[in-house]
Amino acid sequence: MVRLNNLCKTYGTTKAIEDISFEVNENEIFGLIGPDGAGKTTIMQIVATLLVPDSGIAEVCGMEVNANFKALRKHIGYMPGKFSLYPDLSIEENIEFFAALFGTTVQENYHLVSDIYSQIEPFKDRPAGKLSGGMKQKLALSCALIHKPKLLILDEPTTGVDAVSRKEFWGMLKNLQKKGISILVSTPYMDEAALCDRVALMQSGKILQIDTPQAVVNSFNEVLYAVTSDKVYKMKEYLKHSNYCKNVHLFGQEVHVTLNTGVIDNVVTELKNTGFSNVEIKPINPTVEDCFMKLMVQ
Amino acid sequence: MERFQDIDKADSTVIWVKNMTKKFGKFVANDNLTFSVEKGEIFGFLGANGAGKTTAIRILCGLLSPTSGEAYVAGYDVYKQSEKIKQSIGYMSQKFSLYDDLNMMENIRFFGGIYGLDKKTIEQRTNELIEKFGMQDMQKKLIKDIPLGWKQKIAFSIAVLHKPKVVFLDEPTGGVDPITRRQFWDLINETAEMGITVFVTTHYMDEAEYCNRVSIMSEGKIIELGKPKDLKEKHQVNSIDELFFKVARNVNY
């Protein structure tokens, strides 16, 4: 569906993306995972035919993006990170406008958006600028889908969205996938990587790793331990300076630790001798966030 | 006069809220909130989008008056002493932190000036910051050319430059990489140990675990309030993430 070869883009002296190559398969949910400044938006804008790379080739549906941008826009639905609909048009006017732009009607493709649009349809006369964040998002997604695109590009759709609503949004994406749509989506939330078929972990314009979430986790290649005690923050500070420990990161109520040397029993003894109580330690499966942090320091 | 006895304790109670309600027309954004936050505490203010967190924060920052009920911040009344409150607090968010087209030094001077710090104090705090972050190379760079993670750490330090009684952090780590996100929480812990109260909102549920106490808002009400450990035991869940899914609703989002 998407094929990128050696894409580069520079703004002034800042290299936004460097030598980016990957493919998105038909009917796949492909995630660009990384913090702000990783280059996610630049890649998406190139794929969406909105930005010309300095070098490299981007293809969508087998067509080179620059030469075929007009033809490709029929096949691409794009939801930018910033709300970009017309605030003084109503919900209904916005979706009808986008349908008309692409030479179709809301009725014709209603089946594609019905799950999402029906949630905001009761308020269809309300101006888009007066909607809550969640309603804006549902409208933007409906407008990006109304011309029945083959590829849906979503730039950080869940940023600033609470944990419950984020889960619901991913449910909607899974349903769209079942309808045959390929999805390129970006997110700074590492836990959302697990919901993609494949991910590219990105940092400062570069791809750190591309694979299925399971394979990313499998490549961690070290035993990871979760340590808990009655004073987790103080224990984290202590472990950071312990000779036994290599990488030490706070993870909610646990500290995730990999070992430099020795066995895990040494660490337990050390902690107990230092006065930490209720020390518990167990080997765990790493998360994508563990892997991301490991790749960052390498 | 229970309230005045409580205000006498303003030294240890930094935020004191009783039956606070805020209505916009017929819509009840904050419904009878009651809670207090102690000196040096890290207080997590959680809730789904649209639950009423932003309204409460705006009231506590002296930017909005409640419709009814009482609220005191740093010992000052939100109805009558909002200017005093503004001088006693720090604020930063993901959306607004520093001025992009000023460099770091200029930002420090600007905010220091606004908070009424004298030249000597500003210079001294600036040097402390540069040393702490090892930012010698960065001080003349425009903020827009500094990576987000750094920018947020600097913004936080500037938000507490005037040693406020409490600092409000509204999604301070949104979009920040996972290592810097954790360094940011190191800063939060240091600040709380200095006796500055930290009032923080976040969508990262792992960060909720780092708070001394958390509240969860839903439909304008506080539906849970307590230490993470106690709340998890009460609901028999393993994490705040699980608790959030169990109790938080997002009807207004």
pLDDT at B1: 36
Other residues' Cβ atoms within 10 Å of the Cβ of residue B15: 22
> In this structure, what token pair is assigned to residue B67?
């419709």
- Give pLDDT tens digits for B87-105: 999 999 877 778 999 998 8
Share of chain B above pLDDT 90, in %: 71
Is A135 strand, coil or helix?
helix
Domains of chain B: 2-247 (3.40.50.300)
Residues from chain B that touch A189, judged by Cβ atoms under 8 A, are 204
Output A60 or B153, whichever has higher pLDDT.
Answer: A60
Band (B119; pLDDT cuts 50, 70, 90)? very high
Q: Measured at the alpha carbon of residue A207, what is the angle toward residues A10 and A24, in degrees to the nearest 5?
A: 100
Q: Read off the pLDDT of each residue in B162-191 and give the average, rounded to a whole number.
A: 92
> In this structure, what token pair is assigned to residue B252?
């207004």
pLDDT at B253: 62
Q: Read off the pLDDT of each residue in B33-45 and give the average, rounded to a whole number.
A: 96
Q: Is the predicted pLDDT of residue B5 greater than 60, yes or no?
A: no
Residues from chain B that touch A135, judged by Cβ atoms under 8 A, are 253
Q: Is the predicted pLDDT of residue B194 greater than 80, yes or no?
A: yes
CA dist., res. B74 & res. B83, Å (int): 12
Q: A228 near A253, Cβ under 8 Å?
A: yes
Half-sphere exposure of A205 (CA within 13 A, CB side): 14
**Domain holding A282: CATH number?**
3.30.70
Residues A194 and A228 in one domain: no
Output A132 or B219, whichever has higher pLDDT.
Answer: B219
pLDDT at A76: 96
Band (B4; pLDDT cuts 50, 70, 90)? very low
Q: Read off the pLDDT of each residue in B113-134 and give the average, rounded to a whole number.
A: 88
- Give pLDDT tens digits for A179-234: 999 999 999 999 999 999 999 999 999 999 999 999 999 999 899 999 999 888 89
Band (B204; pLDDT cuts 50, 70, 90)? very high
Asked if A159 has any chain B CB less than 8 Å from its own CB, the reply is yes
Q: Read off the pLDDT of each residue in A231-242 and give the average, rounded to a whole number.
A: 91
CA dist., res. B216 & res. A200, Å (int): 34
pLDDT at B46: 95
Band (B200; pLDDT cuts 50, 70, 90)? very high
Give the nearest partner residue to A134 out of B49, B176, B210, using CB atoms: B49
Give the nearest partner residue to B147 out of A37, A132, A164, using CB atoms: A37
Residues A176 and A236 in one domain: no
End position of a domain, from candidates A214, A249, A264: A214
Give the nearest partner residue to A133 out of B176, B210, B253, using CB atoms: B253
pLDDT at B23: 97
Q: Read off the pLDDT of each residue in B37-60 and give the average, rounded to a whole number.
A: 94
Residues A103 and A233 in one domain: no
Other residues' Cβ atoms within 10 Å of the Cβ of residue A136: 18
By C-alpha distance, the chain A residue nearest B208 is A252
Residues 170-199 of A with CB under 8 A from B: 188-190
Residues A153 and A19 in one domain: yes
Nearest-neighbour CA in chain A from B175: distance (Å): 5
Share of chain B above pLDDT 70, in %: 94
Residues A44 and A135 in one domain: yes
Residues A103 and A171 in one domain: yes
Q: Read off the pLDDT of each residue in A261-288 and give the average, rounded to a whole number.
A: 91
Strand partners, B224: B216
Residues A185 and A279 in one domain: no
> In this structure, what token pair is assigned to residue B248?
């938080």
Strand partners, B225: B215
**Alpha helix stretches (DSSP H) within chain B:** 2-8, 53-60, 82-88, 104-114, 119-133, 148-159, 178-193, 205-208, 228-235, 240-247
End position of a domain, from candidates A171, A196, A214: A214
Segments forming the whole domain that contains residue A289: 224-297
The answer to whether residue A172 is domain-embedded is yes
pLDDT at B97: 78
Long-range contact pairs involving B132-141 (C-beta distance under 8 Å, separation at least 24): B132/B157, B133/B157, B135/B104, B138/B104, B139/B103, B139/B104, B139/B105, B140/B103, B140/B104, B140/B105, B141/B103, B141/B104
The answer to whether residue A286 is domain-embedded is yes
> Domain total for chain A?
2
Q: Is the predicted pLDDT of residue A297 greater than 90, yes or no?
A: no
Residues A143 and A275 in one domain: no
Asked if A163 has any chain B CB less than 8 Å from its own CB, the reply is yes
Residues A238 and A203 in one domain: no
Pairing, β A55-60 against β A29-33: unpaired
Contact at CB, B174 and A251, closer than 8 angstroms: no
The answer to whether residue A219 is domain-embedded is no
Residues from chain B that touch A293, judged by Cβ atoms under 8 A, are 178-179
Residues A92 and A200 in one domain: yes
Other residues' Cβ atoms within 10 Å of the Cβ of residue A45: 19
- Give pLDDT tens digits for A279-296: 999 999 999 999 999 999
Most confident of B69-83, B86-100, B169-183: B69-83
* Type of residue numbered B95: K
pLDDT at B2: 45
Residues from chain A that touch B150, judged by Cβ atoms under 8 A, are none
- Give pLDDT tens digits for A9-59: 999 888 999 999 999 999 999 999 999 989 999 999 999 999 999 999 999
End position of a domain, from candidates A214, A232, A250: A214
**Domain holding A159: CATH number?**
3.40.50.300
Residues A61 and A79 in one domain: yes
To the nearest whole number, what is the mean pLDDT of chain A?
A: 94
Residues A150 and A272 in one domain: no
